[in-house]
Amino acid sequence: MAPNLRIPIAVVPVLLGCLSLLASAQTGSVSFAPALTVPTILYASAITAGDLDHRGKAALGVAAATDDDQITCIAPHPLAMTYPEWVGHDYSPMHFDCDLFSAYYSGSILFADADGDGNLDVITTDAEGSDIAISLGNSQGQFSYGNGISLNFSCGDNTPVQAAVADMNGDGIPDLVAIYGTGYKPRGCVAVFLGQGDREFAPPIGTTTGVDWPHNFAVGDLNHDGFPDLVVANSESAQGPMGNLTVLLGKGDGRFGPPTICAHPSPFARVVLGDFNGDGSLDLAFTDNQTLRVALGNGDGRLVAPHAYRLANGAGDTAAADFNGDGILDLVSTFSVQRSGGVAVLLGNGDGTFQPEVDFTTDENPAVAIGDF
């Protein structure tokens, strides 16, 4: 019998709904505690989670696609029952801090250690400009207010839509990588800002994605050379109004090899990397409007033909984690239907296949973040 595990999922539509995921004592099954729904900022567009103060509990970060000054908010301890000192604040039992340094019109948000000091920082992208903002965090979960690090890259009229932190050149210093899309010319771009230490970044190294409208990507070492690679989901191709995936293999200096472009039946794919069959090589899961697809990696940068799992209510934002404590990665995908929404959980079998979905209801138009709250 496996022990009970508490691995909550947080989802954010306009109101923030928190789902506490509670695995049953029997390995292989999964259930949820009742959803906790509390107010958050208006026009919430993205969510992230991470342990900001090293207390072993995740905080939530929410970004809003609005021109209001308060566009990025942090809930240090989302569950007041765990941290009673937060009871009584605004939005009790959840308190949001909304004044930290961030991008003007935040389209994405990420908790990551951008400066290598061991503390998580807040990274936001400007959905109407070209800036990436980094609000530096300390060991108490506090952030820079009114100032921080601002990174800029010009990719025609494209704007940054997502950022990630990885060591792109193997020097042990965190680097920042971002994709630029949503514009009409030129085609989408990837920008790599190599970290120099002392919270400094080198001028960006730009690479084309080879196609239009990149909107989502995942980073990981696909070919076992020790350098991160990218899988980018794009909304359009030169052949017509459908999607495609771009694989960019890292060269270890912030640059990438020629893009490998694979056609995809939907222009709205979301991608996540993980070892779904336990062979030590990264695999790819990605969604289209109705289907979650899993393509196993060969370990040389190539992916086999994907296996498709058609979901009852459609597929959206996706993530991977071990939800039932069996040591195998599982998948979760959001959906929205008839003024409601939810998450579909597919438990992994350990061989790259997944069990039928189990659905749980949230509010409409959700995005997902995973953490131990």
Task: Count how many residues are written for the chain.
Answer: 373
pLDDT 10s digits, 317-328: 999 999 888 999
Output the DSSP codes for 94-140.
---B--S---TTEEEEEEE-SSSSSS-EEEEEETTSSEEEEE-B-TT
The pLDDT of 338-364, averaged and rounded, is: 89
Residue 159 has pLDDT above 90, yes or no: no
Q: Which of 63-67, 261-265, 342-346 has the highest mean pLDDT?
A: 342-346
Tell which residue, 198, 208, 212, 204, has the closest CA to residue 230: 208
Residue 145 has pLDDT above 60, yes or no: yes
Q: What is the pTM of this model?
A: 0.87
pLDDT at 62: 80
pLDDT 10s digits, 301-314: 999 999 999 999 98
More confident of the two residues 280 and 370: 280
More confident of the two residues 11 and 64: 64
Give the three-class secondary structure for 110: strand
Residue 363 has pLDDT above 60, yes or no: yes
pLDDT 10s digits, 239-258: 455 778 999 999 999 999 99
β-pairing, 189-193 vs 175-181, is antiparallel
Tell which residue, 51, 30, 236, has the closest CA to residue 139: 51
Tell which residue, 251, 162, 151, has the closest CA to residue 207: 251
Kindly report which listed range (135-144, 186-195, 199-208, 328-337) carries the lowest average pLDDT score: 135-144
